[in-house]
Amino acid sequence: MSLHVSKNFMITPISKLVKAVAITSFLFAVPASAYANENVRAAGMDKETMMKMQKIMKSDMALMKPDLQKQVKGLSKETKMALMNILSTHSRRSKQLTLRQVMHEVLSDYQSITTGLVTDNNEQAADAARRLANHRLPLGGLIPYMAKDDVNDDRLASLVGFNDLVEGNALRLAAAADKGNTGEATMYLGKIAEGCVACHQVFRGQPGVSNRLR
Ligand code: HEC
């Protein structure tokens, strides 16, 4: 994959999702029972999960300052569905951690995967990969840690692709490691790293830049 990531990077997975999710009413205001079962299934969530995700999104929204709340409310149905889909794959949520702290955990898990693979310890690799895929979500979810200009449909469309690159391949790596296929598992390390790098190129940039330099 090219390291030059455009705004439209990895747009395909989300556009597929968008087509699949022909939802006519929207999540915060509408009870899950209002969604046709078919649509809910198409989004990869059953009714119960959908209701749970709506609740979580609502409580995340309650933590946001009014200007961010307004931005999130203005996102398209498709973006909100995509965010809920991502939410639904994470069972661990923190009441105080920031995204940066979560990222440090993610990096540690990535390193632990590598340690497992290079020391013939597929069990360590598989466990760390599953932990990485189900990394904690920070207080308020991901959005509050994004730059203001990144909280729009266009920018957030790339999230689904990055998520699959990192978490999808972490799960594939775990499955290969479970089977003792260390070689195959090791191939996924590069793909995961591509996901880290690509997401950072869009949503992050160089850390710790000083504003005291000319
Ligand atoms: C969904 C997009 C996304 C993905 C995927 C992602 N990151 Fe990040 N990462 C971020 C953002 C945004 C920040 C900046 C957070 C901040 O400064 O509040 C960040 C920051 C970091 C930091 C720096 C924390 C600090 O103290 O400044 C590390 C380390 C990191 N990520 C590791 C990883 C690793 C390793 C992976 C892949 C396994 C990864 N990230 C995948 C979005 C992502």
Distances (CA, A) of 94 to 54, 124, 139: 17, 24, 6
Residue 205: predicted pLDDT: 86
For residues 90-106, average pLDDT: 97
Rounded distance between C-alpha atoms, residue 124 and residue 177, angstroms: 9
* 3-43 pLDDT, tens digit each: 444 444 444 444 443 333 333 333 333 333 333 333 333 45
Closest CA to 24 of 14, 12, 10, 39: 39
Six token digits for residue 134: 């189900």
Question: CA 52, 58, 59, 64 torsion: positive or negative?
Answer: positive
Closest CA to 156 of 169, 142, 168, 135: 142
For residues 141-146, average pLDDT: 96
Six token digits for residue 105: 């955990």
**Relative to the CA of 203, which ligand 1 atom is closest?**
12
Pocket (CB within 6 angstroms of ligand 1) = 99-100, 103-104, 106-107, 110, 145, 159, 162, 166, 192, 195-196, 199-200, 203-204, 207
Rounded distance between C-alpha atoms, residue 155 and residue 179, angstroms: 37
Residue 50 C-alpha to ligand 1 middle, in angstroms? 27
